């Protein structure tokens, strides 16, 4: 008779040992892969770092770079560092993002995050009024534009200048986010900035920080003997701008303006969604922009059916016109809705998404690139106006001394004169006339 032996055989003991070895190996590999010690959970500060890594990993527009820079190893090495405080976490994230070589993908500490959210809502900010970017070739911190009425504008700092140092610290070493942060501060406090002009001249300027009224939309009526025109300036694309534009155009329509001068000079961008929404006010069921995400999928954005102004217009741009304002300018130009006059635009064709981290901080991540309706990629190139203006710009945009606005008036008056009076109230004929006439640069002096 055969009986079962309750004691494990030598072979069974070997199988049991092998099982435990495999379990240990699996746990060890998972722990090593994620770079997280198995004995304890991540601290709050390290969790911030891991959250930032995950957001970039899931959203960054160019995932092919991850293999090149060994992105997973960067996460592992970063989490193995001593990260005790939230400040340690922000510094670790900054180091972690450096291999991407994308200045627009950056961590935003609480003060900077709150300031960025406030500016997107269109309120006041405390600072010197500089909109900054990074030069494609030198990687130096470059002035995109200055805010109207700001200390930077009053000091003569202009688009194209470079920030060399802030309070003696190298802007090149600080990077974009930290340079911008150093320039901000309490109202009445001062900051010493060393700048270099595009001709190479070095200057040191002592700037006093103050409240700058962003006032993103400004309008006025321009009248002469023959025509009434509307002047519409957008200084940035904050959340409130599309509604403000609708109200401004309604007011100008009530004043019976016949044409619009749209001024996008020194508009460094803001919310892309806001810039696209403004295009709805001028373009009827036209392609505004194509965005290309990390999967190579193009998303075509078409303007709405109803517009708020369909008469003749001209758009002024300069080298401070960037990002969301370039999307709008490119859409107007490519759809032959408006001629562009002025100077080459800045050339920022990347779109960032703002995500929240803990401790009231955030992270900006480049999630897509965009193309104008004609398929032009403006990153690092900008948009070429239909007419280049070589003479200098006025210090106060839209003032009576602004020659660029005067040139725009000449253009629009000529355009209105060309449309036959018997067709003046027929939008279809006017639109066709505008399309043909906008190709003639000789009337812009």
List pLDDT tens digits, range 224-258.
Answer: 878 999 999 999 898 899 999 999 999 999 999 99
Over residues 158-162, the mean pLDDT reads 88
Over residues 9-21, the mean pLDDT reads 52
By the 10 Å C-beta count (0-12 exposed, 13-18 middle, 19+ buried), 213 is classed as middle
| Eight-class DSSP state of 156 | T
Report the pLDDT value the prediction gives residue 412, as an integer from 0 to 100: 92
Report the pLDDT value the prediction gives residue 423, as an integer from 0 to 100: 52
Active site residues per annotation:
323, 334, 348
Distance linking the first and last C-alpha atoms of the chain: 114
From 29-33, 152-156, 203-207, 376-380, the region with the lowest mean pLDDT: 29-33
List pLDDT tens digits, range 165-212.
Answer: 999 999 988 888 788 888 888 888 999 999 998 788 999 999 999 877
Report the pLDDT value the prediction gives residue 20, as an integer from 0 to 100: 59
The answer, yes or no, to whether residue 367 has pLDDT greater than 90, is yes
Question: How many degrees, rounded to 5, is the angle at CA 105 between CA 108 and CA 186?
Answer: 30
Report the pLDDT value the prediction gives residue 114, as an integer from 0 to 100: 82
* Residue-wise DSSP of 205-271: EEEE-EEEE---EEEEEEE-SS-EEEEEEE--B-TTHHHHHHHHHHHHHHTT-SEEEEE-TT---B-
Report the pLDDT value the prediction gives residue 19, as an integer from 0 to 100: 59
Backbone angles phi, psi at 125, to 5 degrees: -130, 155
The answer, yes or no, to whether residue 12 has pLDDT greater than 70, is no
Domain boundaries, the chain: 124-213, 217-350+366-437
Report the pLDDT value the prediction gives residue 426, as an integer from 0 to 100: 55
Report the pLDDT value the prediction gives residue 125, as an integer from 0 to 100: 61
- pTM equals 0.76
What is the overall mean pLDDT for the chain?
84
Q: Write the CA distances from 142 to 119, 130, 356, integer angstroms.
A: 20, 10, 27
Query: Which CATH architecture does the domain made up of 124-213 adopt?
Result: Roll (2.30)
pLDDT cut 70: percent of the chain above it: 82
List pLDDT tens digits, range 134-156.
Answer: 887 788 999 988 877 789 988 98
List pLDDT tens digits, range 95-133.
Answer: 999 999 998 899 999 888 887 776 665 545 668 988 888
Q: Write the CA distances from 419 to 36, 224, 428, 432, integer angstroms.
A: 71, 18, 12, 10
- The CATH number given to 217-350+366-437 is 3.90.226.10
Better-scored residue on pLDDT, 404 or 397: 404
């Amino acid at each position: 008779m055969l009986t079962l032996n309750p004691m494990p055989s030598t072979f069974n003991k070997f199988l049991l040992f092998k099982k435990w070895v495999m379990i240990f190996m699996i746990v060890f590999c998972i722990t090593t892969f994620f770079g997280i010690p198995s004995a304890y959970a991540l601290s709050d500060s390290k969790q911030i770092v891991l959250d930032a890594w995950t957001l970039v990993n899931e959203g960054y527009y160019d995932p092919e770079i991850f293999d090149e820079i060994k992105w997973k190893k960067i996460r592992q090495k970063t989490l193995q560092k001593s990260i005790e405080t939230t400040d340690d976490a922000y510094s670790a994230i900054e180091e972690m993002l450096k291999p991407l070589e994308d200045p627009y993908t950056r961590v935003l500490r609480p003060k900077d995050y709150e300031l960025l959210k406030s500016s997107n809502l269109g309120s006041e900010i405390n600072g010197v009024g500089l909109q900054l970017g990074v030069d494609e070739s030198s990687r130096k911190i470059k002035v995109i534009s200055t805010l109207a009425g700001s200390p930077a504008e009053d000091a003569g700092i202009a688009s194209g200048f470079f920030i060399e140092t802030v309070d003696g610290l190298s802007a090149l070493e600080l990077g974009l986010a930290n340079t911008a942060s150093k320039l901000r501060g309490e109202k009445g406090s001062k900051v010493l900035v060393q700048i270099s002009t595009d001709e190479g001249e070095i200057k040191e300027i002592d700037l006093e920080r103050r409240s700058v009224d962003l006032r993103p939309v400004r309008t006025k009526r321009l009248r002469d003997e023959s025509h009434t025109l509307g002047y519409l300036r957008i200084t940035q694309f904050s959340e409130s701008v599309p509604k403000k534009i609708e109200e401004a155009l309604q007011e100008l329509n009530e004043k019976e303006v016949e044409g619009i001068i749209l001024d996008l000079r020194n508009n460094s961008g803001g919310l892309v969604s806001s810039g696209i929404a403004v295009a709805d006010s001028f373009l009827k069921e036209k392609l505004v922009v194509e965005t290309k995400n990390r999967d190579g999928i193009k998303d075509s954005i078409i303007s709405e059916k109803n517009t708020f102004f369909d008469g003749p217009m001209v758009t002024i741009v300069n080298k401070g016109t960037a990002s969301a304002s370039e999307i709008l300018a490119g859409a107007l130009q490519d759809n032959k809705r408006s001629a562009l006059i002025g100077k080459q635009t800045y050339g920022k064709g990347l779109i960032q998404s703002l995500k929240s981290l803990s401790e009231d901080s955030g992270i900006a991540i480049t999630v897509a690139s965009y193309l104008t309706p004609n398929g032009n990629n403006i990153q690092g190139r900008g948009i070429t106006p239909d007419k280049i203006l070589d003479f200098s710009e006025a210090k106060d945009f839209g003032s009576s001394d602004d020659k660029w606005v005067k040139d725009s008036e000449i253009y629009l008056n000529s355009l209105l004169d060309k449309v036959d009076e018997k067709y003046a109230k027929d939008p279809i004929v006017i639109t066709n006339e505008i399309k043909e006439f906008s190709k003639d640069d000789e009337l812009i002096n």
